[in-house]
Amino acid sequence: MAQLLSKRKRPPREEKALKAENKLEDGVFDRNTLLALNKLMQAGHFSTLDFPIAKGKEANIYCATTEEGNNVAVKIYRIDTSNFIRMHEYLHGDPRFLHVKKNRFDVVLAWTKKEFSNLKEFYWNGVAVPQPIAFNRNIVVMEFLGKGGLPFPTLEQVGTARPQDDFNFLLDEIKKIYQLGFVHSDISQYNIVVTDGGLKILDCAQAVMLAHPRSEEFLNRDVSNLVKFFQKYKVKCDLDESLAYIKDGKPVKKGLEALV
Ligand SMILES: Nc1ncnc2c1ncn2[C@@H]1O[C@H](COP(=O)(O)OP(=O)(O)OP(=O)(O)O)[C@@H](O)[C@H]1O
Ligand SMILES: [Mg+2]
């Protein structure tokens, strides 16, 4: 019986061939991701995928070019090496993702959809995030924050020349997000880009709705990251005061409209 089971478990020859065909290039380009890229290209969102810009914890980011010669950013989530258990924790209490099964594939796909959906909600309500363009499977296409193919630097890389203004601006952006019914949950100098049109906030996949059981804790963490960073520049900022400022005023929405 044991032998029979082990024999049955062995993948048939054609499946082995399929596995080889699915071999990952750069940790992201399995066959289905290539098909999804192709669909996005067929839909006209870009015509060439040019070069990698960055490799984050969960995704690889590429610069791509449209037929008109404009750059867009293509963020491809890695299915095989993403920390889907951690990701799943940020889906709690989110009416958009109530029935996501706790397996690697479903969680990464929900995460991709969540980043796109959050970007849409934030961007179209005037928050300083890259403009979302499209998504498919584990890929998000968005506005490229850079010039001549070079991405703009992060706040961590170049620091700030106008600390008080930048702090006030970012607090206002966090407040806008909060009043839309969300907490970004990954605010730090590493996820803020210094563009020639001002600061922009990246990495919106982790943003949770206020209904998330830990949304208050995430808000505290976001604001204290900001306060710690700007205190190095001698900005007068206080965690409690900043939190009170963010929460002051009527919420614009409850965040439930943010459906893809
Ligand atoms: N729209 C964009 N335009 C230009 N560069 C971008 C864009 N999005 C991301 N990047 C670049 O890729 C880097 C990583 O992006 P992002 O933070 O969204 O991915 P991540 O996988 O969550 O990374 P990490 O785990 O490091 O936070 C950024 O620091 C930035 O340099
Ligand atoms: Mg990041």
Q: How many CA atoms lie within 13 A of 37 on its CB side?
A: 19
Q: What phi and psi, each to the nearest 5 degrees, are found at residue 194? A: -95, 100
Is 186 among the catalytic positions? yes
* pLDDT, tens only, 243-256: 999 999 866 655 55
Atom nearest to 142 CA in ligand 1: 1
What pLDDT sits at residue 136? 98
Residue carrying structure tokens 């998330």: 212
Q: Can you tell me the distance from the alpha carbon of 28 to that of 136, in angstroms, rounded to the nearest whole number?
A: 14
What pLDDT sits at residue 82? 83
Measuring from atom 18 of ligand 1, which residue has the nearest CA?
203
Q: Which sequence spans correspond to the domains of the chain?
A: 32-148, 151-247
What pLDDT sits at residue 38? 98
Percent of the chain residues past pLDDT 90, beyond the cut: 76
**What is the CATH architecture assignment of 151-247?**
Orthogonal Bundle (1.10)
> 136 pairs with which residues across the strands?
139
Angle between helices 215-231 and 163-179 (to 10 degrees): 170
Q: Can you tell me the distance from the alpha carbon of 138 to that of 106, in angstroms, rounded to the nearest whole number?
A: 10
Q: Please say whether the beta carbons of 155 and 164 come within 8 A.
A: no
- Residue 11: pLDDT above 80? no
* pLDDT, tens only, 12-37: 554 444 444 445 566 788 999 999 99
- For ligand 1, whether the C-beta of 56 sits within 6 Å is yes
- Residue 161: pLDDT above 70? yes
Equal CATH topology for 32-148 and 151-247: no
| Catalytic one of 30, 94, 166, 203 | 203
The CATH fold of domain 32-148: Phosphorylase Kinase; domain 1 (3.30.200)
- For ligand 1, whether the C-beta of 151 sits within 6 Å is yes
What pLDDT sits at residue 45? 98
What mean pLDDT, rounded, does the chain reach? 89
What pLDDT sits at residue 92? 80
Q: pTM here?
A: 0.88
Residue 39: burial class (beta carbons within 10 Å; 0-12, 13-18, 19+)? middle
* pLDDT, tens only, 79-104: 988 889 999 999 987 888 988 998 99
Highest mean pLDDT among 6-15, 17-26, 151-160: 151-160
* pLDDT, tens only, 183-201: 999 999 999 999 999 999 9
Choose one of 26, 53, 142 to mutate for the ligand 1 pocket test, by most ligand atoms within 8 angstroms of C-beta: 53
Percent of the chain residues past pLDDT 70, beyond the cut: 85
Measuring from atom 16 of ligand 1, which residue has the nearest CA?
203
